[in-house]
Amino acid sequence: MHQATLTDEALAIKGGAPVRETLLPYGRQSIDEDDIQCVVGVLRSDWLTTGPNVAEFEEAFAAYVGAKYAVSFASGTAALHGAAFASGLGPGDEAITSPMTFAATANCVLYQGATPVFADVSTDTLNLDPQKTAARITPRTRALLPVDYAGHPAEINAFLEIADRHGLIVIEDACHALGAHYLQRRTGSVAHMTVFSFHPVKHLTTGEGGMVTTDRSDFAETLRRFRNHGISSDARQRQSQGQWHYEMVLLGFNYRLTDIACALGLSQLRKLEVNLLRRGEIASRYASAFRDLAAITLPVTREDMTHAWHLYPIQLNLEKLSATRAEVFRALRAENIGVNVHYIPVHLHPYYRDRFGDRAGEFPVAENAHERLISLPMFHGMSDQDVEDVIKAVRKVTSHFLA
């Protein structure tokens, strides 16, 4: 049995002093004076929404990822919904996606009256497994929705090959993966449509916001109409042309991203490469510090990929610990390290259980990972001391619980 030591007595959860005096969140935004001034400039302008900053942000974003078109949305979820709509998903259709994701990835399928179908994930990256996906295809399948879990690109070429054989659309959920590279191509330039999120914990933020990139003009046109009530022109276009007439050509939503948000996005985009570099430095520091720990398994990066490091998810080797994931989680939080868990597999949420039945055990790789996962703090605004605090706390807590 593990014997008590002075280190054990020092655990904050047992009344000892925590590693930090204040909580370090798992992620947060970084806003500087340049960002603030860009937003102030819009507030003093004539346009607060559907103004010039929207098109400028979309064009700059498309150029960055290497896509022909980028269409902004009010959130990553709205962008997913737009992509699901543009793909033609509807009642009677199915779309295959990962259970190891935020619920919005699957929910966008439901929004269209279609059925989300899950396939298990790969053991190393926790991304959707192409072979397991191919086995789930039926005559009702219309789209594939691989997810770039934690910022590691999914095997998009494999999904495109599957899609070509079956006449499907590939929608890449890259909400974690802005700035990642897949076989020397930036994420956002490979799939039929790629979806990004600009939530405050992401690589750049617009407050809330999202984007869909694509090389297909028909998708781009549908996406623009869908986010604007299904109307074929926007208010700024009509004003510049001196026209009042507009036509609703499809049933859309008000999913527009504001000029205020796009101004912030433009400012943040200019700093993206520096932010990505910092996240990579933090990931390298974690890997070096934890390489010798038997208690945890570190995330991997496959050859010919670059990781965007939205998250830094470790997996606990529970067979080597005298504690559950919940106990380790609480101990780290007591040390003021704001760890999180990403994710509860979507099919295990009560709504999905009630709608589709209890399917626990159907996706063993995802479910086994879920029981072991803990996300460590990972954001580009972390200081070197923040990183050292995380390392100290992880080593302190895992050494206490080592069986």
Give the CA-trace dihedral at 269, 275, 280, 282, to 10 degrees. -150
Q: Phi/psi of residue 168, each to 5°?
A: -110, 165
Spatial distance between the Cα atoms of 214 and 80, rounded to a whole number of angstroms: 13
Q: Phi/psi of residue 288, each to 5°?
A: -65, -40
What is the pLDDT at residue 24? 98
Spatial distance between the Cα atoms of 170 and 157, rounded to a whole number of angstroms: 10
Residue written as tokens 């956002």?
188
User: Taking a C-beta distance cutoff of 8 angstroms, is the pair 144, 159 a contact?
Assistant: yes
C-alpha closest to that of 72 among 195, 251, 217, 242: 195
Residue 33, both tokens:
């004076």
pLDDT per position in the chain (403 positions), as tens? 344 444 456 899 999 999 999 999 999 999 999 999 999 999 999 999 989 999 999 999 999 999 999 999 999 999 999 999 999 999 999 999 999 999 999 999 999 999 999 999 999 999 999 999 999 999 999 999 999 999 999 999 999 999 999 999 999 999 999 999 999 999 999 999 999 999 999 999 999 999 999 999 999 999 999 999 999 877 666 566 667 678 999 999 999 999 999 999 999 999 999 999 999 999 999 999 999 999 999 999 999 999 999 999 999 999 999 999 999 999 999 999 999 999 999 999 999 999 999 999 999 999 999 999 999 999 999 999 999 999 999 999 999 999 8
Residue 124, both tokens:
């190393």
The pTM of this model reads: 0.95
Residue 325, both tokens:
């994931």
Distances (CA, A) of 259 to 20, 55, 85, 159: 39, 9, 24, 35
> Domains of the chain by range and CATH?
6-27+272-401 (3.90.1150.10), 33-269 (3.40.640.10)
* Known catalytic residue at 202: yes
Sheet holding 185-186: strands in order across? 185-186, 181-182, 305-306
Adjacent-strand bridge partners of 337: 24
What is the pLDDT at residue 5? 47
Neighbours of 350 (CB within 10 A): 7
Considering the candidates 132, 202, 271, 320, report the single residue annotated as catalytic: 202
- Cα angle 54, 60, 63 (rounded to 5 degrees) comes to 140
**Cα radius of gyration (the chain):** 22
Adjacent-strand bridge partners of 285: none
What is the pLDDT at residue 232? 86
Q: Phi/psi of residue 67, each to 5°?
A: -105, 160
What is the pLDDT at residue 9? 62
Spatial distance between the Cα atoms of 132 and 122, rounded to a whole number of angstroms: 9
Q: Phi/psi of residue 69, each to 5°?
A: -135, 145
Q: Phi/psi of residue 221, each to 5°?
A: -65, -45
Spatial distance between the Cα atoms of 85 and 64, rounded to a whole number of angstroms: 25
Alpha helices in 167-258, H assignment, sequence order: 217-226, 235-241
C-alpha closest to that of 107 among 83, 142, 125: 83
Spatial distance between the Cα atoms of 290 and 120, rounded to a whole number of angstroms: 28
What is the pLDDT at residue 1? 38
